[in-house]
Amino acid sequence: MENFPFWGALGGGVLIGAAAALLLWCNGRIAGVSGIVNGLLSPVRGETAWRALFVIGLVAGAGIYAAVAPAGYGPRTGFPLGLLVLGGFLVGFGTRMSGGCTSGHGVCGLGRRSPRALVATLSFVLTGVVTVFVVRHLLGVS
């Protein structure tokens, strides 16, 4: 924790909060990434452009960060591919089951004081803790 980039994390959090507030203010929409992407996969007339721009902005932001700070956070290597695929499937399943993702519930829902979002966010965090324990301590993956 001694090398934790506090200012970078704070800046990122401010940008995420500002983007979520701006989307709600300008479009009346919640910045839940899974719902936005789902709307692109099942398009509704008049809803595609802003959703596509939002996703392009997410990808462009990551690309800009990688270009500006190439020594930043690199991809993890040596992790079993099967566990990555299983993890991706479980994230998608959990997102659908909970009716949203961490951005929709954790950022926007908690900001609106939604009890449903609080339960979902606590479930995400608890599941993450249990998953790390199982993968690291029971399966021995480091």
Q: What does the alpha-carbon distance between residue 17 and residue 103 come to, in Å, rounded to a whole number? A: 10
Whether the predicted pLDDT of 113 surpasses 70: yes
Q: Are residues 91 and 102 in contact, defined by beta-carbon separation less than 8 angstroms?
A: no
pLDDT at 4: 64
> What are 67-92's pLDDT values in tens digits?
888 777 677 777 788 888 888 888 88
First to last CA, the chain: 18
Higher model confidence: residue 142 or residue 82? 82
pLDDT at 52: 95
The CA angle 98-119-27, to the nearest 5 degrees, is 65
Higher model confidence: residue 71 or residue 16? 16
Q: Are residues 85 and 73 in contact, defined by beta-carbon separation less than 8 angstroms?
A: no
Q: What does the alpha-carbon distance between residue 136 and residue 107 come to, in Å, rounded to a whole number? A: 28
Other C-beta atoms lying within 10 Å of the C-beta of residue 100: 24
Domain ranges of the chain: 1-74, 77-142
Task: Tally the C-alpha atoms within 13 A of residue 38's C-alpha that lie toward its C-beta.
Answer: 12
pLDDT at 130: 94
pTM, to two decimals: 0.76
pLDDT at 25: 92
Tokens of 35: 């719902």
pLDDT at 138: 92
pLDDT at 2: 60
Question: Rounded to the nearest 10 degrees, what angle do helices 33-41 and 48-68 cross at?
Answer: 120
